[in-house]
Amino acid sequence: RGYEVTVENFIRVLTGRLPDSVPRSKRLLTDDRSNVLVYMTGHGGNGFLKFQDSEEISSEELAGAFEQMWGKRRYSQVLYLIDTCQAISLYRNFYSPNILASSSSRVGEDSLSHHVDTRVGVFVIDRWTFFLLEFLERVKADSRATLKDMFAYVKTRDVISTPHVRTDLFPKPLSDVLITDFFGSVRKVEVSSSVVTFAGENQSSTFHERSVLRFTGHAMSYSVGALDTHDEDASGLNTAQSFALWRFGGVAIPAMFMFIFILVGCK
């Protein structure tokens, strides 16, 4: 956020190369079951995007960061969206598997703004992003709309540049990829009375009684019932409960949805 958004910090977040002092709220807590959405916009040119008007990230650095993510099993699939002048050049060097990339303009083209806020006297959104957002605002959580539908919605005549989608690194056709694979969804749950034990170093927590919510199709479940704690180092119920919630939110759900939005300037 703000001046913390630097090229170094952005790459560190993607690759997980962060000091122990960095809180969980500033980490990308993903694994090889995670779908990751990366959206970037700002001033850019052939092969670079500016950060804070003082530094740039290159297409080579982006490609290297995603390769590190793949090597460290930090994603299952990536959707990379870039809205800037000559945007296609930002992902021309990508080579890691399972990345789907889309851009607002080709090399030699500008990415134009859509409308101005007369109160502050600046343009507030670019045309490609505006029409993507217009489509997404009509999509409901249980929608069967696909990425093919989304990209087809954005027309060259509307954005006054040439949008592009790179699919050669992605294993599935766009018509088989739901919007909700990357933009969130509603999971079906079933009720179970089984007991679930969460275990960690010197610590375990058992949920029992009442009902258990189990994600359909996955083995992990989470109880809304009482909590027994056995923690040699922790100081009581709150610590063990936090641990259980962390296990539920950070590890238990396959295909987690993680989002990175990088807004680094107005054109």
Provide the angle, in degrees to the nearest 10, between the axes of the packed helices 7-15 and 59-71. 20
DSSP 178: B
**Residue 175 burial by CB count (10 A; 0-12/13-18/19+): exposed, middle or buried?**
exposed
* SS3 category, 123: strand
Query: Within the chain, what is the greatest distance between any pair of CA atoms?
Result: 65
Secondary structure string (H, E, C) spanning 150-181: HHHHCCHHHHCCCCEEECCCCCCCHHHCECHH
> Reading across the β-sheet that carries 189-192, which strands appear in turn?
189-192, 212-215, 221-223
Contact 227, 240 (CB under 8 A): yes
**266: annotated active-site residue:** no
- Which one of 43, 208, 218, 266 is the catalytic residue? 43
Q: What are the tokens at 44?
A: 């850019």
**85: annotated active-site residue:** yes
Give the integer Cα–Cα distance in Å for 88 and 82.
8
- Which one of 85, 115, 164, 208 is the catalytic residue? 85
Length of the chain: 267
Identity of the amino acid at 154: V
CB atoms under 10 Å from CB of 242, counted, come to 12
CB atoms under 10 Å from CB of 255, counted, come to 13
Give the integer Cα–Cα distance in Å for 257 and 205.
26
* SS3 category, 42: coil
Which residues are the active-site residues?
Answer: 43, 85
